[in-house]
Amino acid sequence: MIVARIESAADPRLAPFLEVRDRDALGPDGRPGLFVGESPLVIEAMLRASVETLAILASERQEARARALVDAARPCRTGRPDPEILLAPDEVLDAAVGFNIHRGFLAIGRRPAPRSVRDVVPASGDCLLLVVEDVNNIDNIGQLFRNAAAFGCAAVVLSPACHDPLYRKSLRVSCGHALRVPFARSSSWAEDLAWLREGAGLALVGATGGGDRTLAATAHELARASPRRVAVLVGAEFDGLTPAALGACSHRARIPMAPGVDSLNVGVAAGVMLARLAEVWGDRPPARVQETG
């Protein structure tokens, strides 16, 4: 394990960590091929996932914990070297990064190679997917990945306009699950939706307040299928799923709500949909979550 002490924000070893917010604003282009993880929970996920963690920047007061994180995850990284641990006083840390890192941890990881929709969908057997259309709120993207992990989704499929799930804040909200649940960003949305339904044999269940059946009725219908191959589609806040996405759905399901309430946050709605579908599968659960690689 290489541990280095940093005394100045001008130290060249801090280059990947400089001006985090300004570079984040540029999206993946702000740090080509790399991403930033923030908080011990996310860094633990980075170390245990099949992505390369290049360096951990930690406050001097967090040295013991930084060392422990690397030590504990070493069995998961067979054949891969430990990341370098860079330790700095809080004032140097904040000056380099550009804001107060009160958790005292950042890490730089190498982005996994992009996957196509066809790469992440299991070819056969039971399968539960989460399909996300045009959600660009950073917190919602993180919450959707956390839901996908909680309810055993084999993968998450994103439309071209969705926010980056490896953006620092989204990754933090996901509790690192965006590194554990395989995902693909569609390059041809209409074509990929059609393939999910016709090529991959998935029932596409659109979450919509205008659904012709309740979620419970839809879930029980799908539970009788063999194999059970289901994709839950959710859309952006306020607008919901586009007409094109709704047109691709084989089912349109609504969540019954009290009078005067017309919608839920997309993360909450996705959680309700996935929980209900997973529940009726009983002793035949969907595919287990796999790590990205």
The model's pLDDT over 20-33, given as tens digits with 9 standing for 90+, comes to 888 888 888 888 99
Question: Is residue 62 included in any domain, yes or no?
Answer: yes
Instruction: Quote the distance between the C-alpha of residue 116 and its chain's center.
Output: 16
Read off the pTM: 0.90
Q: Is residue 34 domain-shared with residue 103, that is, in the same domain?
A: yes
Q: Is residue 82 domain-shared with residue 177, that is, in the same domain?
A: no
CB atoms within 10 A of CB 68: 13
Residues contacting residue 58 through CB under 8 Å, at least 6 positions apart: 65, 66, 85, 86, 87, 88, 104, 105, 106
**Stretch (H or E) spanning 141:** helix 138-150
Question: Is residue 285 included in any domain, yes or no?
Answer: no
Question: Is residue 291 included in any domain, yes or no?
Answer: no
Q: Is residue 81 domain-shared with residue 130, that is, in the same domain?
A: no
pLDDT at site 282: 64
Give the domain-ending residue among 84, 110, 136. Answer: 110
Question: Is residue 195 included in any domain, yes or no?
Answer: yes
pLDDT at site 226: 79
Preceding amide of 114 cis, omega within 30? no
Residue 277: which of 196, 203, 184 has the closest Cα? Answer: 203
Question: Is residue 289 included in any domain, yes or no?
Answer: no
Residuewise pLDDT in 10s, the chain (293 residues): 788 999 999 999 999 999 988 888 888 888 899 999 999 999 999 999 989 999 999 999 999 999 999 999 998 887 888 999 999 999 999 998 888 887 789 999 999 999 999 999 999 998 999 999 999 999 999 999 999 999 999 999 999 999 999 999 999 999 999 999 999 999 999 999 999 999 999 999 998 887 778 888 888 888 888 788 999 999 998 888 999 999 999 999 888 888 888 778 999 999 999 998 888 766 555 555 444 44
Q: Is residue 82 domain-shared with residue 136, that is, in the same domain?
A: no
Q: Is residue 143 domain-shared with residue 79, that is, in the same domain?
A: no
Q: Is residue 98 domain-shared with residue 8, that is, in the same domain?
A: yes
Cα separation, 22 vs 34, in Å, equals: 15
What's the token pair of residue 278?
């997973």
With H, G, I as helix, E, B as strand and everything else as coil, classify residue 280: helix
Q: Is residue 127 domain-shared with residue 249, that is, in the same domain?
A: yes
Q: Is residue 146 domain-shared with residue 258, that is, in the same domain?
A: yes
User: What domain range is 84 assigned to?
Assistant: 3-110
Q: Is residue 171 domain-shared with residue 257, that is, in the same domain?
A: yes
Question: Is residue 248 included in any domain, yes or no?
Answer: yes
pLDDT at site 102: 72
Give the domain-ending residue among 59, 93, 110. Answer: 110
Question: Is residue 286 included in any domain, yes or no?
Answer: no
